[in-house]
Amino acid sequence: MPAVSFSPSSTTADVASQSFEVRPFSDAVGAEIVGLDLSRPINDQDFSRIHRAHLDHHVVVFRDQRISPEQHIAFSRRFGVLQIHVLKQFLLVGHPEILIVSNIIENGQSIGLGDAGKFWHSDLSYKELPSLGSMLHAQELPSEGGDTLFGDMHKALDGLPDALRKAIEGRSAAHSYTARYSETKFEGNWRPTLTPEQLAQVAEVVHPIVRTHPETGRKALFVSEGFTTRIVGLPEDESRAILAELYAHSVRPENIYRHQWQPHDLVFWDNRSLIHLAAGCPSHLRRKLYRTTIQGDAPF
């Protein structure tokens, strides 16, 4: 297994360690980190434990985090360069690193992206350098609904039938942000028309269908119903049929962790290992979360 790498902060050498626990969920995916306060400085030893937990469990939940946008951004930057979302109208004022995910309407305008994650996807797979991971921090939660589902794409690949594995061997697929951009799924949510400038930022890219995690060396499927459009080099009908089988296989119940949000949760998932889905909530119930996205490497 390749060595875990991260960029330690030279300013944390004399910061005291915090006492916290990493508690794996009963599902094969995910863990919660309890007792850690992200509003306080994190030394390199503690950061290494957090980083290791993220790689081992693919999604980690930091409970009860009373942090500011500045602290959210600073912690995210410990893992890498932050990516700015193409929908600039939904970025937090003064903090463009944060995308507002919300169904709230104020003065007749949506304050955030109301239907983010309505189809299974890996964040920014439509970019040349897709996301390493995303951190989503709960601001306002509905009294019902609003769950987020995560699918383990390592397990999905490991359990792939031989015929399907052979059909995708060595192949690549195209990804596009606009693949299902205009399709409605949740009542009351909508997406703004993209400008020519925005469209230029999300031109189609091609990535391998099976990618290797750059830090752990594990292989995972890297396709999703949200952004994958076709398998390169195959007739359209064959491509569509194979992708449909891959999508159905990826979200089998044994591959899924369902996150039920608690107040002030900060959820950090690995987009190289997982796909995720927003389950939706009634449109009249307010929901608002802040998301940062960390840039990853070109898939290989």
Catalytic residue, candidates 58, 207, 276, 287: 276
Contact 125, 132 (CB under 8 A): no
Contact 136, 267 (CB under 8 A): yes
Query: Could you give the CA distance from residue 85 to residue 90 in angstroms, rounded to a whole number?
Result: 9
The residue annotated as part of the active site, out of 51, 85, 121, 213, is: 121
Per-residue tokens: 203: 């031109």
Give every CB contact of residue 239 below 8 A, 6+ residues apart in sequence: 230, 231
Q: Give me the DSSP letters along 180-218.
A: STT---STT---PPPPHHHHHHT--EEEESEEE-TTT--
Q: What residues contact 122, with CB distance under 8 A and at least 6 apart?
A: 130, 131, 153, 222, 224, 227, 271, 272, 274, 275, 276
Question: What is the 3-state composition of the chain as percent helix, strand, coil, each rounded to the nearest 5?
Answer: 20, 30, 50
Report the alpha-carbon distance of residue 149 to residue 49 in Å, rounded.
24
Residue whose pair of structure tokens reads 């064959």 in the numeric block:
238
CA distance 159 to 145: 30
Phi, psi of 89 (to 5 degrees): -70, -15
List helix spans (H) across the chain. Answer: 44-57, 69-77, 153-158, 162-168, 196-201, 236-250
Does 276 qualify as catalytic in the annotation? yes
Which of 46, 115, 123, 152 is the catalytic position? 123
Residue 26's Cβ-side half-sphere holds a number of Cα atoms within 13 Å equal to 0
Indicate which residues carry an active-site annotation: 121, 123, 276, 291
